[in-house]
Amino acid sequence: MENTFVNKVEESGILTFNLEDFFPKEELKTFDLAPFLFQGLILREKDYRAALKEFDFTPFQGTWTNVYCSADAIIPHWAFMLAASYLSGISSNVFFGTKEEMLNTYYHEVLGKLDWKVYDGQRVVVKGCGDKEVPVGAYLEVTNHLRLVAKSIFYGEPCSTVPVWKRKSE
């Protein structure tokens, strides 16, 4: 008697959507304004400008950089603009906000440009638990797009999924 193994996942017709496939290829870096604050509270323009002139920006070469301030301080808008003026010629992309906010913006743009027709009427599992820091916002974004075309959406792995959404029968 011959043992025949059947891949039930493959036979199920479920398509996998892996957000990690769209993760930026560039290194992600953070530029924090907190170290430039006087006594951790105040940004002094003259000192800040001098510090930026002396700052070594080479580690940001070719990276995607988010600019924000981790300290609970009031930072004038021009301070972020000044940091961006130094980073824009060095970093591939400069964003305002945390690393997660930067990735949410990135995924919003990338997923907005995809052709979702391939998922029309399909059962789709959005892969979870990967090696990269895909933000929660990306999962919401992919759900918003898939709801327009897919038959059903699941989260996890094809062999063990959590149902997220199912199109109502017409």
Q: What is the mean pLDDT of the chain?
A: 93
- Extract the tokens encoding 84: 């961006």
| Buried b / exposed e along 49-69 (16+ C-beta atoms within 10 A) | eeebeeeeeeebeebbbbbbb
Mean pLDDT throughout 32-46?
97
Distance of alpha carbon 117 from alpha carbon 112, whole angstroms = 13
What is the band of 130 on the pLDDT scale with cuts at 50, 70, 90?
confident
Q: How far apart are the first and last CA of the chain?
A: 46
Structure confidence at residue 170 (pLDDT) = 65
Average pLDDT over residues 2-7: 54
User: What average pLDDT does this structure show over 18-33?
Assistant: 97
SS3 109: helix
Is residue 166 very low, low, confident or very high in pLDDT (cuts 50, 70, 90)? Answer: very high
Q: Is the pLDDT of residue 96 over 70?
A: yes
If you average pLDDT over residues 71-98, what whole number do you get?
97
- Please, which pLDDT band fits residue 158 given cuts at 50, 70 and 90? confident
Q: How large is the average pLDDT for residues 35-56?
A: 97
Q: Evaluate if residue 11 carries a pLDDT over 70.
A: no
Q: Is the pLDDT of residue 48 over 60?
A: yes
Stronger pLDDT, 130 or 153, i.e. the higher one: 153
Length of the chain: 170
Q: Which two tokens stand for residue 149?
A: 């075309």
